[in-house]
Amino acid sequence: MNRKSKLSFEHRFVGGDRAGDGLTLLLLHGTGGDESDLIPLGQTLAPGAALLSPRGRVLENGMPRFFRRLAEGIFDQHDLKVQTDALVQFTESSSQAYEIRPDRIVAVGYSNGANIASSVLLAHPKVFAAAVLFRPMVPFIPANTPNLERVNVLVAAGRSDRIVSSQETQRLVQLFENAGATVTTVWHNGGHELGQDDVDAATNWLTDWRARLLSAAG
């Protein structure tokens, strides 16, 4: 049995090319999505980057999610921890199986996917080099402040989002900033859905981040 057959999430992997600079996007879908949903988005955000896209292992009325919730905006904290740890293990195992550079993994999550990406940042701060979070919420309040000083985060929120309030967005941004992360917040004039302005902002942000990364690498 090879390494890839032992990975704990159903997933898709699309290899990168030389233009990708060794970057891998970990694509994390929203409720009801699957491992194919965000592939086109990933290809737009970072042309040439490798794409690793797992499917959430929890079902809610038949719809895949990355962790259970008790109600809208109320998360099952025990399952959140279990699934967060499992996603970290999957990411680390995938790094070996697909020869991914662990220091160049960027999480790109939407809604439920953004929430579990935020959970990984707060519980395992060394896993992601950066993160693009579309419509995230606060997953939990850590007992101890993590060290995110070398992590860059883009938070993309909706001004008319009925699921995630602006106050919730600011709470999460404050959590990340208190941990030392460099956070950029952009606001979409619509609601919870993604808009072209979200995609453009994330593409520009990632392009700038990649340029700084390569400059620092010499």
pTM here is 0.95
- Output 192-198 pairs: Cβ under 8 A, ≥24 positions apart: 192/111, 192/135, 192/158, 192/161, 192/162, 192/163, 192/164, 193/158, 194/110, 194/134, 198/134, 198/156
> Quick check: is 192 catalytic?
yes
Catalytic residue among 111, 118, 119, 188: 111
> Quick check: is 111 catalytic?
yes
Residue 214: per-residue pLDDT: 79
Catalytic residue among 95, 161, 188, 198: 161
Percentage of residues of the chain with pLDDT beyond 70: 96
Selected residue with higher pLDDT from 214 and 29: 29
The mean per-residue pLDDT over the stretch 71-76 comes to: 90
Catalytic residue among 34, 85, 124, 192: 192
Number of domains in the chain: 1
Q: Where residue 109 sits, what CATH number does that domain have?
A: 3.40.50.1820
Residue 176 — very low, low, confident or very high, per pLDDT cuts 50/70/90? very high
User: What residue numbers bound the domain in which 181 lies?
Assistant: 3-217
Residue 6 — very low, low, confident or very high, per pLDDT cuts 50/70/90? low
pLDDT at 75 over 70: yes
Residue 1 — very low, low, confident or very high, per pLDDT cuts 50/70/90? very low
Residues 56-65 have pLDDT tens digits of 999 999 999 9
The mean per-residue pLDDT over the stretch 24-31 comes to: 98
